[in-house]
Amino acid sequence: MPIDRANLTFPLWLYFAKRAGEEGRTWAAGFDKYASAMKLGNRALKFMRLHQVEEGYDLLQESKAMIDDHGEIPSSMNAVLRRYYYGVSAFYSYCIEDFEMASQQLTTALEAVVEAVSEAKCLLLLSLDCQEFYVHHARIAHKQGHLQEMQRWIDHARAMAANDEPLCRRRNGEAIFFSDFEGFLRAMEPFNEEEQDFARDFTGLGVRTTFIDSFLQRIAPPVEKTQVKYTQAEP
C-alpha cells in the first residue's frame, strides 16, 4: 500500500509503527480490521476540503457508526479511531462556524492521541498530530478575530518545533518531544532512500515549521493589517 504523507489513507506514523519491532507489527496487524473506519473518516475530510461539507458529514457519520459497531477493541486502537473521528469532526464544526465545538473536538482528538501513545509505545510518531491541533486552534482563533489567542497557540506550536515544549505527555507524566523521534527511528535502521526521506518528516526542523509557516502565509494580509508580529523559533 502506498504511503500517504497527507495522513488520509496509509499515514506515515502507521508505516513506521509497523517497523517498531514485534509490538509494532502485532499492533498494526490487529489494527488492519479497524482501519477502514479511519479511512472512511478521512474520505469525509476530502469532501469537506472540496467544499462538499454535508456530503463529507454524511460519510463521517458512517465512519462513526463503524467505530461504534466494533464494540470492545484494544484501547489504543479505539483511541486512534477517535483521534481521526474528532479531528475531522472539528473541521466540520469549523466549516459551519461552530467554533466552540470545533475547539472542544480538537481537544478531544488530542486527548485520544495521549491515550494512544500512552497505551502503545509503537505509536510514538502519532504525537506529531498534537502540533497540528495547536495550529488548528490558532486558525479558529484567527477566524474569530482573537489574534492574541492565536498568537499564543502559534507560539506554543513553534516551541514544540524548537524542542522547547513537549508535543504531549503520556498519562504517566512522561513528556514526548520531537527529539524523541530520532532515537525511535534510529532503532529501525537501515532505511532505504525513500524511508530516509519520510523519516525527515519527523526529525527535520524545517519540516516541523512548514505547517505553521504555510498557515501564517495564508492569513498574512489580515495579520499585517493588525500589526501582530510573529517570530521564528531558533533551532
pTM, two decimal places: 0.88
98-138 per-position pLDDT tens digit? 999 999 999 999 999 999 999 999 999 999 999 999 999 99
What local confidence, expressed as pLDDT, does residue 165 receive?
A: 97
- How confident is residue 1, by pLDDT bands cut at 50, 70 and 90? very low
Asked whether residue 233 is assigned to any structural domain, the reply reads no
Range of the structural domain that residue 81 is part of: 12-226
51-75 pLDDT, tens digit per residue, is: 999 999 999 999 999 999 887 899 9
What's the number of domains the chain is made of?
1
Residue 164 covered by a domain? yes
In this prediction, residues 79-95 reach a mean pLDDT of 97
Domain contains 173: yes
Q: Is residue 42 part of a domain?
A: yes
Question: What whole-number distance in Å separates Cα of residue 222 and Cα of residue 155?
Answer: 18
| Mean pLDDT on 161-175 | 97
Compute the distance between CA of residue 211 and CA of residue 178 in angstroms, rounded to an integer. 15
Give pLDDT, residue 205.
84
- Position 215 scores a pLDDT of 81
CATH number, domain of 48, equals: 1.25.40
Residue 4 lies in a domain: no
Q: What's residue 216's pLDDT?
A: 81
Mean pLDDT of the chain: 89
Query: Is residue 234 situated within a structural domain?
Result: no
Q: Is residue 231 part of a domain?
A: no
User: For 148-170, b where at least 16 C-beta lie within 10 A, e where not — what string?
Assistant: eebbebbbbbbebbbbebbbbeb
b/e per residue 65-92 (b: at least 16 CB within 10 A):
ebbeeeeebeebbbbbbbbbbbbbbbbb
Query: Is residue 31 in some structural domain?
Result: yes
